[in-house]
Amino acid sequence: MDLLEYQVKEWFANIGIPVLPSQRIDHPTDLKRLKIRYPIVLKSQVNAVERAKVGGVRFVGTTIDAIAAARSIFNLPILGQLPEVLLAETKYETEQEFYIAVVLDTAVCRPILLGCTEAMDIDWDSADEKMHYVVVEQEFSPFYARQLALKMGLQGALIQSVSTVVEKMYHLFVEKDLDLVEINPLGVSASGQVMALNGSVSVNERAIGRHQNIADMAETMVNHNTSSDTIRNSGNWDVVEMHGKIAILGNGAGLVMATLDLVINSGGKPGVCLNLRHASVTETSPTTFKSRLEKALKNIASDKSIQVILINFLGSISQGSEVSQVIGEFVESSMSEAQLFMAKSNGGKRRENNFPRLVVRLAGSEFDTARKDIAALQTPTDTSITVVENLDEGVAEAIRLAKSTASRRF
């Protein structure tokens, strides 16, 4: 979960990282009650590094200019997002600008400190020559931050002032369970004073549940920003959204991906692919396998582009015995919905066809009963549900059905 700049700066200020006096602007008229002195900079609070380039950052010297600039920024979409808030901040004269960050490196299984004596306009292609790093091998101690300062080529008092900021960033990183905390740029004034001019914070999704205040923030943000992007970007593949007609449900991320590959390689087009093995990292309340399957089926049924649901479960599942029950209920509710629709619209064939076809691949003795029960279910289209044990067979059947229903769809 990525924080907005004004949230990041609140955290920075609380932990003692130097930030400029600033004020949150919810509406252009808030600028009439500005408590900081002009000239100021107004910044659109969206998560996009391109923000400055497209006009989301403006310097203003008077209230009139500020209100005008604020109006235009509030109406400027950046990467499709309109800001809900602006940040008004004092202007700062810098002599130098640095990049510093703490990030979790999953390859070495340790946090690393990153630093560079150029602020990065995300010119990551040339970053490898200029970027310096220190692996925090054992429990953090300030000397790791000084090692970074030295590697960056700093000398004298700057070693201490920069390493003190890095030290505080590290404490924030651990205290809040972050994946990333970044200051870009860290401004250095002529007198050697340092200032976090802009910053990013990315909270690890799995740890949100143990931080009440972050969970509260997450709740607000999820409402605005429910994209599957956010989920995919968190680095696990529990939800993959594609745009085909075959939805895939599996119990295991690797298995879902293998199924997705098989569908594509056999000429099919996957739609949404979900791993139901465990709860989504963004799920706050406890879930069960049964409840995840129910929810997934319901969501998929409401997506009219999906024509086939390929379920691929294998091995042991807690509440596995309830799989046939959930599928049975799903089919039944689809039937009553279809009947309701038929009753309302005086009988139409259109709606029936929209019930997605089900291909259920169940492997393992746990599903011996479920296989029989599901095969016996009555469906709205009066076709039986295909139940198989072999994966390749299940994939082939899903593709066949997707093709055969394709013509009927529109």
Partner 1 sequence: MNLTPYSKVLIQGFSEYITANHVAQMKANGTNLVAGVNPGFGGQQMYSLPVFDLVEEVVDKFGVIDTTIVCVHPYQVLDAALEAIASNIRQIIIISPGVPPLDMVQLLRKAEAKETLIVGPNSPGIIIPGKILLGTQPSEFYTEGKVGILSRSTTLTYEIARELTDAGLGQSMSVSIGSDAIVGSSFLQWLQILDEDEATKAIVLVGQPGGDREEAAARYIAEAIDKPVVAYVAGREAPPAKHWRQTGTLAAVIGRDPDFGTAKNKLAAFSFARVPVAERPSQIPELVKKAMRV
Q: Under rule CB under 8 A, which residues in 97-136 are in contact with partner 1?
A: 103-112, 114, 124, 127-128, 131, 133, 135
By C-beta, is 281 or 309 nearer to partner 1?
Answer: 281
Residue 141 beta carbon to partner 1: minimum distance, rounded to whole angstroms:
4
156 binds partner 1, rule: CB under 8 A: yes
Cα 179 off chain centre by: 12
Q: Give the full edge-to-edge strand order of the sheet including 57-60.
A: 22-25, 86-90, 40-44, 57-60
Closest CA to 97 of 4, 7, 196: 196
Structure tokens at 146: 């000084």
Cα-based distances in Å from 344 to 82, 333, 340, 351:
41, 16, 6, 11
Stretch that binds partner 1, among 21-29, 55-63, 138-146, 337-345 (CB under 8 A): 138-146
Query: Of 34, 279, 342, 375, which lies in the binding site for partner 1, with binding defined by CB under 8 A?
Result: 279
318 binds partner 1, rule: CB under 8 A: yes
Residues near 341 by beta carbon (within 8 Å), at least 6 away in sequence? 348, 351
Task: Say how far apart CA 91 and CA 22 lie, in whole Å.
Answer: 10
Residues near 407 by beta carbon (within 8 Å), at least 6 away in sequence? none
Query: Of 15, 48, 180, 375, which lies in the binding site for partner 1, with binding defined by CB under 8 A?
Result: 180
Phi, psi of 272 (to 5 degrees): -70, 140
Stretch that binds partner 1, among 8-16, 22-30, 40-48, 156-164 (CB under 8 A): 156-164
394 binds partner 1, rule: CB under 8 A: no
Stretch that binds partner 1, among 6-14, 20-28, 251-259, 401-409 (CB under 8 A): 251-259
The site map against partner 1 for 209-248 (x = CB under 8 A) is xx------------------x--xxxxxx--x-x------
Stretch that binds partner 1, among 32-40, 70-78, 190-198, 311-319 (CB under 8 A): 311-319
Q: Is 211 helix (H, G, I), strand (E, B) or coil?
A: coil
The site map against partner 1 for 345-374 (x = CB under 8 A) is ------------------xxxx--------
